[in-house]
Amino acid sequence: MISFDVLVIGELNVDIILDDIKGFPMIGKEILASELNVVLGSSSAIFASNLSSLGKSVAMVGLLGEDSFADLIKKSLQNKKVNTDFVVTTKKYSTGLTIVMNYGMDRANVTFPGAMEHLSTADITDEMLLSSKHLHLSSIFLQKGIKNEAIELFKRAKKLGLKTSMDPQWDPAENWDLELEQLLPHIDIWMPNVMEFKNITGTDTISAGIEKIKNYSNCVVIKDGVHGAHLWEKGKLTSKPAFLNSKVVDCIGAGDSFDAGFISEFVKGSSLDRCVEVGNVMGAINTLEPGGTAAFENIESVRIKAQEKFEFTL
């Protein structure tokens, strides 16, 4: 029985965010930051939280330790009406965390993976998959227990009738080793950013990357920051401009919020052009508040921000 629009599988961690940092860290030296926030982190959780705020029913699959960070994560997800029945806790590992150092439009991250590395496809039952219409996986390079079995996971999801999407996120090891020819045929929407796309495809341009994967890809959405997003589907590459915020607080989670906007439209059958446009405006709304979820209280408030800040009608 289908209970949810989207089942999200991915890493779970908190973000410890430092802002207004005086200089750059150097070995043997100490610098100061004037602002600190401890919030729900991880690409997967930000996506799930904001997708739920856009009115979709969402369930989360993940692994946490038994500690105060785990409590913060589960409470934050539940406050946004994300179902956490499939989130497991363990005493064997600590909950993951990311230290985020913001510098204007860019940032430097240090992540302690903790429990997130130990979620495996064996933890993901057919019953979980059948609970939802759509499967989304994020941050595959951070999830060692999922990465080597991702092809079979997506095959299983497609066989059970689900639509699928994946945001690969950054590879901390910078190996970028995905078996694209075996993986992408089972992913309906592949959602890297432009740097991830070039690295994973081993190319220098978007067009070269598309040429390399076109024979076995379905739909590819490439996030490109202030340049908007690019959509490749059925042999055609198109671009949609970004919605620009002149007073960016930070960009943490902007790509995940794009994903949430895109998938919120995709699961209700909107055109792919509309999906990209909504993705772009959600990425912009994300930058109005600190962290990845603060700008997404509920669908009504998001509608107001889209109209008043970016003259966009949801």
Q: What pLDDT was estimated at residue 28?
A: 96
Which three-class secondary structure string do you get for 80-147? CCCEEEEEEEECCCCCEEEEEEEECCEEEEEEECHHHHHCCHHHCCHHHHHCEEEEEEECHHHCHHHH
Tokens of 282: 């959600």
Q: What is the CATH number of the domain that holds 275?
A: 3.40.1190.20
**CB-based contact 43:167 (threshold 8 Å):** yes
State yes or no: pLDDT of 290 exceeds 90.
Answer: no
- Domain total for the chain? 1
| Average confidence (pLDDT) over 249-256 | 90
State yes or no: pLDDT of 194 exceeds 90.
Answer: yes
Strands 33-40 and 13-21: antiparallel
State yes or no: pLDDT of 45 exceeds 90.
Answer: yes
- Of residues 104 and 91, the one with the higher pLDDT is 91
The percent of residues above 90 in pLDDT, for the chain, comes to 91
- b/e code 91-109 from CB counts within 10 Å (16+ = b): eebbbbbbebbbeeeebee
Distance of CA 43 to the CA centre of its chain: 4
The percent of residues above 70 in pLDDT, for the chain, comes to 100
Tokens of 310: 């970016």
Domain around 297: 4-24+32-310
| Average confidence (pLDDT) over 275-282 | 98
Q: What pLDDT was estimated at residue 216?
A: 97
| Average confidence (pLDDT) over 43-59 | 97
**CB-based contact 88:70 (threshold 8 Å):** no
State yes or no: pLDDT of 251 exceeds 90.
Answer: no
Q: For the segment 148-184, what is each residue's pLDDT rounded down to a tens digit? A: 999 999 999 999 999 999 999 999 999 999 999 999 9
**CB-based contact 233:272 (threshold 8 Å):** yes
pTM comes to 0.93
State yes or no: pLDDT of 104 exceeds 80.
Answer: no
Q: What pLDDT was estimated at residue 5?
A: 98
Q: What pLDDT was estimated at residue 78?
A: 97
Tokens of 207: 């067009």
Whole-number average pLDDT of the chain = 95
Alpha-carbon span 256 to 200, nearest angstrom: 19
